[in-house]
Structure 1
């Protein structure tokens, strides 16, 4: 499987790593960590050195009960950083973590490469048509509700079956609007409790029915630190363990805070295979 990023074909038959760079003050793990341009450049540069194929920029925290911010605030946080990183690293492939079509359009026009939407278009009816017009890869995640309400919306008769119906509908809609390159993200932790997250990880291969790349984002999440009774800061080893399972069960992209360890995980699973 390949995706077209700014004219270059990225082969996902060998899994790739997406580094997380949060520009928010309140993300669950690294919120507020990168406070100035030098720190942002340093972190992005290190992730590229460590082997990240993509850097995922987010300026709206999607942790449970996160504060809602305006479009203007999100744009003020993210757009200058897109320009900053492209000036410093002209070949960088920036993924934009947003559910707002206006932000997606502005960032792609500034040089970003793909859109990562936690709502798969549910929070902005213009998102999927906009991505189709922009002609960029689209990561569509499974979630119910919003970051503010999702924790109470984890009722399912059959989680995997309902997710497959959800993705089938979203893929059909995206194709209608001319989106050619799609990646599905099962949304670990989004409207799912710990048991459901592990059920999802165990059955990740059942999402391969869509014949699309699967992104797994378990990095330092509560399914790890609550299970082990530790903090997100102590959850790197647990993250590596679950990243290994995700790769063995079909993940094509690992979205992580810690790139070096994830790249090593990809190499070791490749050698095992």
Structure 2
């Protein structure tokens, strides 16, 4: 069996003159959790909808579990779960009824009560849908996406509206699915979520992939740490690629304890913001050049 769950080459989606997705290449391995990050309007949801068979592409090649999602079969649908940004908000069914209906569509569905429990909806299982909060509707969307025990599941911003406890319950669910061999592609705006769950991360800006690496690999792109302290009553903060040597020099010119001394290494969020900022600055410069021409 091929190692590739998803293979994307030269993916493009245009709307008039605008490239919503602009030449993305991507390989997702079987059994991995892959996180797709980027600002609003970067092309994340469009990419997920194309890979899930819900939107036509303009150009490029896409294979998901060996099938072109532009020509899905029932058998393929049974192997793939998908949660778009909103799928249950207009439902007239209770959570239990929605999952019971979904279970009938699959040959080997999950247990309904167990699924309600892992997404934190046991107490709201029989509540009318209009009585569910936005976060509870998102939990139901997650439950519907995994109800068929899919080999591959797409989750588009799954924890939007979740409280901290619900987000951690969701993380436990994702980790259990990964342990069962499920391939997961998720989009998220939460950097801690991607750092916790993802084996690899792709960052999209302006429809293009600007970085693709492991969380640790992305963090290693930032070379400077920050050293902060108080000197002569004033706060100081300086970047340095060699914090140990910097600290040695700082200790040499200070007697005793250094007030509020702290060394901060770059976070995934720092690297993400730098990459997005650079991509947006490049796009703005290209736009200015086109106007000038």
> Is TM (by shorter chain) over 0.5?
no
Which TM-score tier does this pair reach, normalised by the shorter chain?
A: 0.3 to 0.5
Higher-strand-fraction structure: 2
Higher-helix-fraction structure: 1
